[in-house]
Amino acid sequence: MSDSFKLSLDDVEPWKGGVILRTGTHPIRVVEEEVKLDGDHPVVLLTLEAIGGDEKGGEIRDWIHVTEKTLGRIAQIYEAFKVEVPAGEFSWIPVKGKQAKAVVREKPGRDDPSKVFSEVASYVPLAAGDAVDAIKEGFNASEVADDGNDIPF
């Protein structure tokens, strides 16, 4: 028996290690979005990346089960990501690339309540000032005081 095997990593993205967002409110961007339709109800999996704050670059995943009981959460998500929702019945509107704030809380494990896990409790809109701060941090930039002289030389 051989203790060797073959594989190919062509077109495979390496897994990212890093920070899982801790309890708090984080400015985030949706970096991955997947809709699963193989169960008894749709599930939307969002991968969120912190775009500012102490945990910038950290990630957390949110599994959104789409049922009659969770429609209020779906409405909250669309409101936080500033997605215009049409009247009546519609298909899932993607939020990949959009920004908001995620409120992360700790939750005890189902099998072992002594173990806690971070989960997204809710979403809130990203205020204009938060977006500016996130952009500044993303480019490692700072604001320059206006001295009244708009000629740079």
- Domain with 55 in it: what CATH number? 2.40.50
Q: Are strands 43-50 and 24-36 parallel, antiparallel or unpaired?
A: antiparallel
| Distance (Å, whole) CA 55 – CA 130 | 15
| Distance (Å, whole) CA 81 – CA 62 | 15
Structure token pair of residue 18:
């890093």
Tell me if 153 is assigned to some domain. no
For the segment 40-82, what is each residue's pLDDT rounded down to a tens digit? 999 999 999 999 888 899 999 999 999 999 999 999 999 999 9
Tell me if 150 is assigned to some domain. no
For the segment 78-112, what is each residue's pLDDT rounded down to a tens digit? 999 999 999 999 999 999 999 999 999 999 988 99
Cβ–Cβ under 8 Å, residues 128 and 135:
no
Per-residue model confidence (pLDDT) at position 7: 82
**Global pTM value:** 0.73
Counting the structural domains of the chain, the total is 1
Tell me if 111 is assigned to some domain. yes
Tell me if 70 is assigned to some domain. yes
Residue 148 has pLDDT above 70, yes or no: no
Tell me if 17 is assigned to some domain. no
For the segment 130-143, what is each residue's pLDDT rounded down to a tens digit? 555 555 555 555 55
Tell me if 9 is assigned to some domain. no
Tell me if 7 is assigned to some domain. no
Residue range of the domain that includes 50: 24-86+95-138
| Distance (Å, whole) CA 129 – CA 36 | 35
Tell me if 8 is assigned to some domain. no
